[in-house]
Amino acid sequence: MRTHTCGELNKKNVGESVTLAGWVHRRRDHGGIIFIDLRDRYGLTQIKFDPAINEEAWKEADKLRSEWVVKVTGQVLARPDNMLNSKLETGEIEVGIADLEILNKSKTPPFEIDEVKNEEANENLRLQYRFIDLRRPELQKLLILKDKYIQHMRGYFHNLGFTEIQTPILANSSPEGARDFLIPSRLHPGKFYALPQAPQQFKQLLMVGGLDKYFQIAPCFRDEDPRMDRHYGEFYQLDMEMSFVTQEDIFAIIEPLMLEITEKFSNKKVVNLDKDGKFIRLPWKEALTKYGSDKPDLRFDLEIKPITEMVKDCGFSVFAGAVKNNGVVHAMKVDGGAKLTRKEIDELTQLAISKEAKGLAYIIIKEGGELQSPIVKFLGDDLANKIVIEVGAKEGDVIFFGADSWKIVCASLGAVRNECASKLGLKDNTKASWCWIVDFPMYEYSEIEPGRIDFGHNPFSMVHGDMKALEEENPLEILSYQYDLVINGFEALSGAIRNCKPAVMYKAFEIAGYPKEEVDRRFGGMIRAFEYGAPPHGGCAPGIDRILMVLQDVNSIRDIYAFPKDGRGRDLMMDSPSEVDVKLLREANIKTIKNVA
């Protein structure tokens, strides 16, 4: 239907007869001549309807409105020098139209396609009319970039001898840390499939099956609340697994890929590499202590320092009392933080309180080294100045303090650290700071049942020390071969070296309160497979949508998807979730119960 797209004509085509097809983007009438910017996925071309060229086409063009779909034929003309448009690839030419065919009309769009005006459009309205929103060049470019990004990943793993294998979508329930989406079985009444939260068990079984190197672009399904970096319900990860490997082997595969995609799919420069040019590694506990997070943003410093020993016997009851109750006191120097207003410090205090802290103490270092703070009179000038020296603060800085249990201090100061960086403009989007978080604790206290030991991360991970550690060490001190990769404060992947020994697996689950019978019931397929010669293996799963969101500085992960859900998990365009016909429920052996308030 067309000889060219709307993004390829230039001066070399002047004099040619061409046929274009696309949408009416903008319309302008100038002295009896109608100018239209015609748009398709490839760009814009200015076309003009001049009665001197073809009066019938000119009359028909008077009907055209925004987003009508047309086919036009005409001659490529050079634009006058005073009408050149350097912002367009086609800005040196226009097409004088001799023939117009209206292919389809459009209602008045609910919002403008124009990128500048579109920022005013309500997000829910955009999602309801996503098929119109997708016409925006910025979204199209992002989706096209995502295609190339996934192609690059596939090529990388194929070149390393990995085999792409599709694992089941209808699977069994697995403890991956979120709620399952359940699928009732029509053929087996009362029983359910679960959509996979990840292909965890299947990829391990592929290793038992001798496939050695596996990967796939895997769809994953989790019924967890959406947020800026987490799309509701479904997401995609680059799932990979390898046999006969250590943690070092996994890192050696992943790091070059992440360096490549940073260079190829962003304008960021990788920073904070170690002396060997590799990603730095932080043990989990060190990351929490220094940065208040297990996914720290290392584009800026703002390091947190323990000062517990310095203040354990001080006259400030908040600090001394925390230490007496087996807590800690940490301090964080914020360079240039003295410029924060009283209102901003109050906001930071409320942020700390939202993380269960009782407040947020601070010391401002004023001009001439004067210390301004309500707590200095309790600490005494001597101790206060020693703290200033200890954290390396100088004139114009502010020091924030946390005093409570280690967990609360880390969480509250970590949140304050992140917010200070935002307020002071320290998050440099020209930088990509990758780092590994290693040595996660295998167990932690359950948040649902206080006092009960539960898995802290992936339950299928191998522990440091093997069976001996599980039998002899305090469970809360056992470390695992689990690792996360972080970029600019976002978790990019999780992975582990797997526990492939049945006896060790039974013991690991026993500590977390799972009797042998329940392990057999829930993970019998995997346990049985491990009894037939399982190779040592490990892997990881980079979140491809989230990584691209960070690399492209996209404000919400929803824009990485062609058809995203809204903040409440709804598809406003297709009106889902929705009720279904009673007949379908009966066939699936389901009876619905209305919630009673």
Q: How many beta carbons lie within 10 A of that of residue 532, not counting itself?
A: 7
Token pair in block for residue 310: 């310095």
- Cα-flanking dihedrals φ and ψ of residue 445, to 5°? -70, 140
Alpha-carbon distances of 347 from 60, 336, 420, rounded to whole Å: 60, 17, 10
Token pair in block for residue 373: 């703070």
Token pair in block for residue 273: 């590499």
Token pair in block for residue 365: 């270092």
> Residue 277's closest CA among 300, 251, 312?
251
Token pair in block for residue 89: 């690839």
Cβ 24 vs Cβ 66: under 8 Å: yes
pLDDT for position 436: 98
Rounded CA-CA distance 178/199 in Å is 14
pLDDT for position 179: 87
- Angle of helix 516-530 versus helix 200-208 axis, rounded to 10: 40
Token pair in block for residue 219: 């769809």
The residue with tokens 């009907």 is 63
pLDDT for position 116: 46
SS3 content of the chain, % helix, strand, coil (to 5): 35, 25, 40
Cβ 420 vs Cβ 258: under 8 Å: no
Q: What distance separates the 2 farthest-apart alpha carbons in the chain?
A: 94
Rounded CA-CA distance 483/439 in Å is 7
Cβ 439 vs Cβ 433: under 8 Å: no
Where in the chain do CATH 3.30.1360.30 domains reside?
300-426
pTM of the model: 0.91
**Tens digit of pLDDT at every position of the chain (597 positions):** 999 999 999 999 999 999 999 999 999 998 789 999 999 999 999 999 999 999 999 999 999 999 999 999 999 999 988 889 998 999 999 999 999 999 999 999 998 887 545 566 788 999 999 999 999 999 999 999 999 999 999 999 999 999 999 999 998 876 556 788 999 988 998 889 999 999 999 999 999 999 999 999 999 998 888 888 889 889 999 999 999 999 999 999 999 999 999 999 999 999 999 999 999 999 999 999 999 999 999 999 999 999 999 999 898 999 999 999 999 999 999 999 999 999 999 999 999 999 999 999 999 999 888 999 999 999 999 999 999 999 999 999 999 999 999 999 999 999 999 999 999 999 999 999 999 999 999 999 887 788 889 998 888 899 999 999 999 999 999 999 999 999 999 999 999 999 999 999 999 999 999 999 999 988 888 899 999 999 999 999 999 999 999 999 998 899 899 999 998 889 899 999 988 888 888 888 888 877 655
Cβ 445 vs Cβ 513: under 8 Å: no
- Cα-flanking dihedrals φ and ψ of residue 167, to 5°? -95, 165
Token pair in block for residue 127: 């999602």
Token pair in block for residue 160: 């390393």
**From the candidate CATH numbers 3.90.1640.10, 3.30.1360.30, 3.40.1390.10, 3.100.10.10, the one assigned to the domain spanning 300-426:** 3.30.1360.30
Q: How many beta carbons lie within 10 A of that of residue 578, not counting itself?
A: 8
DSSP one-letter code for 274: -
Token pair in block for residue 369: 């080294």
Cβ 520 vs Cβ 505: under 8 Å: no
Cβ 497 vs Cβ 243: under 8 Å: no
Rounded CA-CA distance 314/377 in Å is 11
Rounded CA-CA distance 137/40 in Å is 9
Cβ 547 vs Cβ 485: under 8 Å: no
CB within 8 Å of 427: residues ≥ 6 apart: 297, 299, 300, 421, 488
Rounded CA-CA distance 122/118 in Å is 9
Rounded CA-CA distance 537/431 in Å is 33
Rounded CA-CA distance 14/375 in Å is 77
Where in the chain do CATH 2.40.50.140 domains reside?
11-104
What's the CATH class of domain 11-104? mainly beta
Q: How many beta carbons lie within 10 A of that of residue 568, not counting itself?
A: 10
Tell me which H or E stretch contains 221: strand 213-222
pLDDT for position 582: 86
Token pair in block for residue 69: 């779909």
Rounded CA-CA distance 60/105 in Å is 13
Alpha carbon 412 to chain centroid, angstroms: 22
SS3 576: strand
Token pair in block for residue 58: 């000119």
